Chain A
Amino acid sequence: MQDYGIGASVRRKEDQRFLLGKGRYTDDINVEGQTYAVFVRSPHAHAVIEGIDATAATAAAGVVAVLTGDDLAADGIGPLICGVTVTSDDGQPHRAPAHPALAQGKVNYVGDHVAIVIAESLTQARDAAELVEVNYRPLSAVASTSDAANDGQQQIHEEAPNNMCFNWPFGDKAANDEAFAGAHKVSSIDLVNNRMVTNPMEPRAALGEYNSGTEEITLHLTTQNPHVHRLVLAAFNQLAPEHKLRVVGPDVGGGFGAKIFIYAEELVVGWACRKVNRPVKWTADRTEAFLSDAHGRDHVTKAEMALDENGKFLAMRVHTIANLGAYLSTFATMVPSYLYAFLFAGQYTTPLIYSEVKAVFTNTSPVDASRGAGRPEATYLLERLVDVCAADMGLDPAEIRRRNFIPKDAFPYQTPVVQCYDSGDYEAALDQAMELADYAGFEARAEEARGRGKLRGIGFSSYVEACGIAPSAAVGQLGGGVGLWESAQVRFNPTGNVQVFTGTHSHGQGHETTFAQLVCDQLGVPFENIEVIHGDTAKTQFGMGTYGSRSLAVGGVAIAKACDKLIAKGKKIAAHAMEAAEGDIEFADGNYTVAGTDKAMNIAEVAFNAYVPHNYPEGVEPGFDENAFFDPMNFSFPAGTHICEVEVDPATGEVEIVDYTAVDDFGKLVNPMIVEGQVHGGIVHGIGQALLEGCHYDADGQLVTASFMDYAMPRADNAPDFRIDYAPTDPPHNPLGVKGCGEAGAIGAPPAVINAIANAIGAKHVEMPATPETVWRACQSAN
């Protein structure tokens, strides 16, 4: 039993089907009579639609229907929503222009949805889409994040003067200004957090089926949160009542945030399958994914730190312009506000923090959460600024961090920016990382590299992140439209095997294994007798899905609570069967025993008794099946130190990552093999942002990086093997003692890499992605 419990690197249950080619992703599902959909998309960044002529397309071979925004509006299908309110400095809620799922007279970005063409085959749909004649009157486009709110810019939405969504100041400006005025030293940095395309490997897809007999719509979607999709589509988009809408997220090929949101295509496919009374399937090609998936990051920032003569941080201020794209995606407003500024303390005791975030509209794809969501942006500016502070003060980058760390005996620690950190020992992680990375030997390695004509640099990143957003009441106070609890159901079948229903959704994280380990550990049921079920609103009672590294810290605890209820109920059943008092029953390793005797009963026997209650305690309900909901008291706060070592070729600007160390505090690890995999993936995602990935629109709002040929994804030879270790602390308010690990790498890596490059070439700053050209130019100016 031990080998499958908490702490064991158990091989994954889900692997067999994926390795056999038996995974079942949305596009793999085919149903009788299905039709195929293609979206007609805007080729213009900004244009008025003066007319749509679908006559030729409708008459083309195999075409079932061509539907436009007028059809959608006539059926009362509502616009897409943004679910989190941010209050602007004028006291008004953020500006929320209507976001129709099919354009209503105007398009606002390249790829904006104009019509859906439905045909008997995919090629017929593609051919017919070419025949839809849209008469556009182009307008000038707004593509620049930093200029979007300037005077004289083209207005995108009437409801948003100066293209402003919100201006959100946070903190005590007067106190902050005073601290800056009296500071020994002020360090500052201007930087851009580069726009990224999240790019899970499975493109988004939707398959809609309507049953006219039951009036039920079933939508198979590439979703990270089927119940959230159902809730929003029912409550806000009027697609169908919640009880007549089933959303299934089958196997999903990666999410990283991009599959949280409720997208136009999903709503339109759901509506269209009822309208044409045929199943409708849509699958994005990669260029469509680039054009219409919500993008990430895209900030322009100035950050400043006030220091005393010992290098202690006295105050920090941040001014950011955040690009939200053409419309607000589902959680867009939350990312550059609450998930961003609330992390500005990082690992440090900085007492005063003031920030202003201007969120702007541009004629680009909507921007929303992407692996880390706000926290990578916060960590990047902070950890870059700390290195600038170190240089300005003549301190070692490790030393300035150490001088400012929140001490380990100060937890729980109330930061000046809302968050109260649960637990941490930041110095321990730093020490461990420096040891593992052989920081002491760095100078010798750099010397050796110089002999080969290479510039070797080392960079730190000491990050903290916030996972498992909670509690629900706090989310509500911040303007969030949902609760962020999680639910679970643990059901014994009469024959003793167990089905675990979770409201989280696994799209690579391995929940089917990790959650089975939890149940195996707690109930003592053989691992192979436990099945974890997720991703179908018709099977799982409810759930908020998977994002923000919440699944184990929130969803895992809900499972544990359901197991607690089963154990408690089982005590009554076992006491009756063994003719003992309930108070004398003990439970361990799957067995109920009567204290002080050798009487024992396995939990599987108890389950059988519960379903065949012939000899059964009075007043106890039959059945062995319990539900639980868990609403955490707080976020969890994983943290750690990453150290990156690079070699730069000054002649070409090429950067090689030669060593990378990560020491993280994720609390207790349930499956170390899976955790390590999450860390690897996160780090490479972060290395991608630091070295390779840059999403670019030209001045006309054309996306010039719309395929894997133009947008550089990290490949196998972009990173070395990593040194991974842990410096765990025990988060007091998480019953399982876990924190979350899915985003840490993507948060920690970008500043570690850029700090290493800046260190190598002696530059104050190098923008991401640090391509050979960028680095070569920086080398020229540094010399």
Chain B
Amino acid sequence: MSTINLAVNGQSVSGEVEPRTLLVEFLREQLRLTGTHVGCDTSQCGACVVMIDGKSVKSCTMLAVMADGSEVTTIEGLASGADLHPMQQAFMDNHGLQCGFCTPGMVMSGLDIVNRHGNEPDDATVRRELSGNICRCTGYQNIVKAIRAGARAMGE
């Protein structure tokens, strides 16, 4: 077992993990932050995307020990109480979610798109950038709309 120390959603946490423990397992099982989901085992679906030191990472593809010393933001860390982050609000306003399972990863990927492409990403850019996130419910159109609206709102 190894001890890891990291900041999750602004709080310092530490934990004992096996070398094989994935970051997503640490978040879900030890910290009980169950908003980050596991939808596949091959880094394809993106339901587990979190931000590590400001960059989006699939937390099923990273060992917990590799996150030692990092700052991690999960879906639980975006809102202020019940006040949604502009990207979350944009998903609600544009019906960018149905069953909600892929949603945390989509929101996180949306934030990453804003980080890398600014507040006015076009449709094609958002669709291309979402190649690592799968949604079975929405047909993507409203997710794309939501991310573009969220990006704009974050610039205001």
Contacts and interface: CB of A to CB of B under 8 A. Distances in A.
A18 B127 contact: no
Interface in B97-156: 97-104, 107, 123-124, 126-128, 130-131, 133-144
B139 A508 contact: no
A72 interface: no
B18 A722 contact: no
A253 B97 CA distance: 11
A709 B138 contact: no
Interface stretch (A21-29, A94-102, A381-389): A21-29
Contacts of B142: 677, 680
Central interface residue in A20, A30, A252, A708, by most chain B CB within 10 Å? A20
Contacts of A254: 98-99, 101, 136-137
Interface string A10-21: 011011111111
A199 B136 contact: yes
Contacts of A23: 35, 100-101
Nearest to A252: B99
Interface string A174-211: 00000000000000000000000001111100000000
A21 B141 contact: no
A679 B140 CA distance: 11
Contacts of B18: 123
Contacts of B100: 14-15, 17-19, 23, 251, 253, 508
Contacts of A16: 82, 84, 92
B37 A253 contact: yes
B138 A680 contact: yes
Contact of B93 (A11, A14, A285, A685): A11
Given A19-B97, A508-B137, A717 B92 contact: no
Interface in B78-97: 79, 82, 84, 88, 91-93, 95, 97
A671 B82 CA distance: 25
Interface string A219-253: 00000000000000000000000000000000111
Contacts of A15: 91-92, 97, 100
Contacts of A1: none
Given A12-B92, A510-B98, 14 more contacts: A15-B92, A19-B107, A20-B88, A27-B34, A201-B135, A253-B37, A254-B101, A285-B41, A508-B99, A680-B139, A684-B138, A716-B131, A717-B124, A721-B141
Which 3 pairs, one residue from A and one from B, show the smallest C-beta to C-beta distance?
A: A21-B35, A253-B101, A18-B100
Contact of A201 (B74, B76, B102, B128): B102
A115 to B, nearest CB: 21
Contacts of B126: 716
Most chain B CB atoms below 10 A, which of A22, A254, A719: A254
B66 interface: no
Most buried by A among B42, B107, B130: B42
B99 A507 contact: yes
Contacts of A203: 38-39
A531 to B, nearest CB: 17
B127 A681 contact: no
13 contacts: A16-B92, A24-B34, A199-B136, A201-B47, A253-B99, A253-B101, A253-B102, A286-B41, A680-B142, A682-B139, A683-B139, A708-B42, A715-B140
B45 interface: yes
A716 to B, nearest CB: 4
A674 B92 CA distance: 12
A200 B38 CA distance: 12
Contacts of B131: 715-717
Given A14-B100, A20-B76, A254-B137, A28 B34 contact: yes
A674 B137 CA distance: 11
Contacts of B84: 16, 19-20
Contacts of A251: 99-100
A59 interface: no
A681 B139 contact: yes
A708 B135 CA distance: 12
Given A201-B136, A202-B99, A253-B99, A708 B34 contact: no
B61 interface: no
Interface in B12-48: 18, 20, 28, 32-42, 44-45, 47
B139 A286 contact: no
Contacts of A123: 18, 20
A111 B73 CA distance: 37
Contact of A202 (B39, B44, B123): B39
Interface in A155-170: none
A81 interface: no
A558 to B, nearest CB: 23
Contact of A719 (B40, B44, B140): B140
B95 A12 contact: yes
Contact of B41 (A19, A287, A679, A721): A287
Nearest to A683: B139
What's the dominant secondary structure at chain B's contact region? loop
Nearest to B147: A716
A256 B136 contact: yes
Nearest to B128: A717
Interface string A94-125: 00000000000000000000000000000100
Contacts of B47: 201
B19 to A, nearest CB: 11
B101 to A, nearest CB: 3
Contacts of B64: none
A21 B136 contact: no
A758 to B, nearest CB: 24
Given A19-B84, A253-B101, A286 B133 contact: no
Contacts of A28: 28, 34
A588 interface: no
B75 interface: yes
A667 interface: no
A639 interface: no
B155 to A, nearest CB: 20
Interface in A702-752: 707-709, 713, 715-717, 719, 721-722, 745
Contacts of A680: 138-142
Given A202-B99, A254-B137, A681-B137, A21 B34 contact: yes
A708 B40 contact: yes
A201 B91 CA distance: 18
A419 interface: no
A286 B141 contact: no
A16 B84 CA distance: 8
B142 to A, nearest CB: 6
Contacts of A721: 123, 141
Contacts of B45: 201, 286, 708
Contacts of B97: 15, 18-19
A203 B134 CA distance: 13
Among A286, A287, A682, A683, find the residue whose CB has the most chain B CB atoms closer than 10 A. A286
Interface string A276-298: 00000000011100000000000
A21 B104 contact: yes
